[in-house]
Amino acid sequence: MTIQMYNTLRRQKEAFAPMEEGKVSMYVCGPTVYNYIHIGNARPAIVFDMVRRYFMYRGYEVTYVSNFTDVDDKIIKAAEETGEDVLTLAETFIRAYHEDTKPLGVLPADKHPRVTEAMDDIIVFIERLIEKGYAYEVAGDVYFSTRSFTSYGKLSGQDLEDLQAGARIDVDEAKKDPLDFALWKQAKPGEIAWQSPWGEGRPGWHIECSAMVQKHLGETIDIHAGGQDLAFPHHENEIAQSEALTGEPLAHYWLHNGYITVDDEKMSKSLGNFILVHNIIQQHDANVIRYYMLQSHYRNPINFNDELIESAQNSLNRIQTLVDNIKHRLQESADLGSEGNWLEELDQYRYAFVREMDDDFNTPNAFTVIFDFVKAANRYLDEAHSNVQVLEGMLELLREWEEVLGLTFERAEEVLDEEVEALIEQRIQARKDRNFQEADRIRDDLAARGIILEDTAQGTRWKRG
C-alpha cells in the first residue's frame, strides 16, 4: 500500500514518492513565541506529529524540523509591555512551548531552529535575491519584487490582479509595488537589531522559514506543513523567494490543517474565548485533548467546547477499559482456550488501520477500526475461556496504535489509601458471602467518598466519581 496525501499545491490527493527511498524530509512552521500557545497552535503541532509518527510506523526515516520565530513585531511589543529583554521573553515562551506540548504527546523535532540563530543565513539569502534581480533595497528596507516571480499564487490560487485591487502601501513604506513584501526591515530607534549590508535591522517573517528550510533540509524537501491560515501569504511568499533563488521546487507536498473554533465562533481575545494550552491542560487530561484533535480529519475545521471534550473522554475511556480488562484477564492466568481465528483477525484489524491511515492520514476512519476492534475484543473477553497468546496480541496491537497516534491507552496508576482499599476488599468478600446488604452499604459509603465501584465480568473496578 502507498500513502496518499492531499497536496494543497495541486489541490488533489497524490501518492507519496519521497526524493530519497525510505526517507522523509519535513518542515512544519512553528510558533511566534510572545505568549503561551493557544489551541489553534496546538492543532498543527499534534496533527503533524501524528503524520511524522505514521511515516515512522510505515518504516520511513523522518527528519522533522519545526522552527521558533523568536524575533518579531509581536515579541518586541510584548517585551515593551512587560519591560523584559526581547530574547529573554522569547526564551521563556520557548520553554513554555515544550512544557505545554509534551503532555499532548508531541515529540520534540529533530531540529528546532530559531530565527536569531539563522541571521547570517538569512542575510546571505537576501543578498543573493538582490543579485538575481528578485529583490531591491529602499533606504535600509529590502523588498521582494512579487511580480518578478511569474508563478506567484500557485499554492493559494490567488490572482495577482485581484491582489492588486485590495493591496495598499502604508505611509512609511517606499516599496515599488503594493504586492511586494519585506525581506529586511530597518530597525526603529531602540529596537533589537542585527547589522547587515543595508544597515541595522531584522528579517521579515517569510524569509526566515525559507532560510531555515534551506539550512537544515536543503533546497527542496519532501513535505512542508502548517495551519491553513499560513497558506497565504506566508507559504506563498516562501515559495516565491525560495524558488526564485534556486529555480527548484521548495517542497513537493504541501499539507495544511483546518481551522479551530470555540463554541462555533472564531477564537479571539475580544470575544473572551482565547484558550491557551497552558490553561486547558490544567483543566482537562492532555491525552483527551490530543484524542479530541485527532478524532476529526486534519483538513476539516473543528469546534472546541467542554461538551465535545467530555465526549472525547468517554470514547477514550472505552479503549482504556478494554486495556484494563485484558490486563486483568492475563493476571488471572487465563485459560489456554482456543485461539479460534483471532490471530488472523488481529492482522486484519492492523491492515484495516493502515488502509485508512494511508488515505490522507484519515484518523476518524482509523478510530472506527479501533472501536470495531474494541467491540469484538470485549465479546471475546465475555467468553469463559481466553487464550494468552490472543490477549497478548490484542495488547500489542493497541500499543502499536497508541504509538502511531501519540495517545496513551492505559490509565495512569492511582494509589488508594489503605482504608479505602480495605473497604473494597471487604465488599468483594461480602459479595462472595452473598451478604448483599453489607456489600451495598460499603458501596454507598465509598460513593460518598467519591469512589465509584463497577462490578464487571473481569472483577470489581473502581474510579473517581
Percent above pLDDT 90 for the chain: 72
CA–CA dist 380, 239 (Å, integer): 54
Direct distance between the N- and C-terminal alpha carbons of the chain, in angstroms, rounded to an integer: 45
Residue 329 Cα to chain centre, angstroms: 35
Q: What is the mean pLDDT of residues 390-405?
A: 96
Task: Please write the tens of the pLDDT for every residue from 351-364.
Answer: 999 999 999 999 99
CA–CA dist 287, 193 (Å, integer): 41
Alpha helices, H only, 58-203? 73-82, 86-101, 119-131, 160-166
Is 234 annotated for ligand binding? yes
Helix axes 306-331, 286-294, angle to 10 degrees: 110
Look at the block and give the residue holding cell 505568549: 35
Confidence of residue 430 (pLDDT cuts 50, 70, 90): confident
Name the residue among 112, 134, 86 with its Cα closest to residue 247. 134
Task: Please write the tens of the pLDDT for every residue from 299-327.
Answer: 999 999 889 999 999 999 999 999 998 98
User: What predicted TM-score, i.e. pTM, was given to this entire model?
Assistant: 0.88
Q: What is the mean pLDDT of residues 233-242?
A: 97
The residues pairing with 137 across neighbouring beta strands, listed in sequence order, are 142
Helix or strand holding residue 150 (H, E) = none
Work out the number of other CB atoms within 10 angstroms of the CB of residue 458: 18
3-state SS, residue 134: coil
Is 269 annotated for ligand binding? yes
Phi and psi at residue 125, in whole multiples of 5°?
-60, -45
Cell of 311: 465526549
Name the residue among 188, 25, 201 with its Cα closest to residue 119. 201
Residue type, 431: R
Look at the block and give the residue holding cell 527548484: 248
Task: Please write the tens of the pLDDT for every residue from 79-114.
Answer: 999 999 999 999 999 999 999 999 999 999 999 999
Task: Please write the tens of the pLDDT for every residue from 264-282.
Answer: 888 766 666 778 999 999 9
Is 91 annotated for ligand binding? no
Q: What is the mean pLDDT of residues 422-434?
A: 77
Residue type, 220: T
Task: Please write the tens of the pLDDT for every residue from 26-70.
Answer: 999 999 999 999 999 999 999 999 999 999 999 999 999 999 999
Q: What is the mean pLDDT of residues 3-31?
A: 97
CA–CA dist 44, 311 (Å, integer): 22
Q: What is the mean pLDDT of residues 75-81?
A: 94
Is 191 annotated for ligand binding? no
For residue 171, pLDDT over 50 is answered with no
Please spell the DSSP secondary structure of 83-119, one letter per residue.
T--HHHHHHHHHHHHHHHHTTTTPPPPSB--BGGGSH
Name the residue among 295, 289, 262 with its Cα closest to residue 363. 295
CA–CA dist 67, 31 (Å, integer): 7
* Residues 6 or more apart whose Cβ sits within 8 Å of residue 190: none
Task: Please write the tens of the pLDDT for every residue from 104-156.
Answer: 999 999 999 999 999 999 999 999 999 999 999 999 999 999 999 999 999 99
The per-residue pLDDT of the chain, averaged, comes to: 90
Q: What is the mean pLDDT of residues 5-15?
A: 97
Is 84 annotated for ligand binding? no
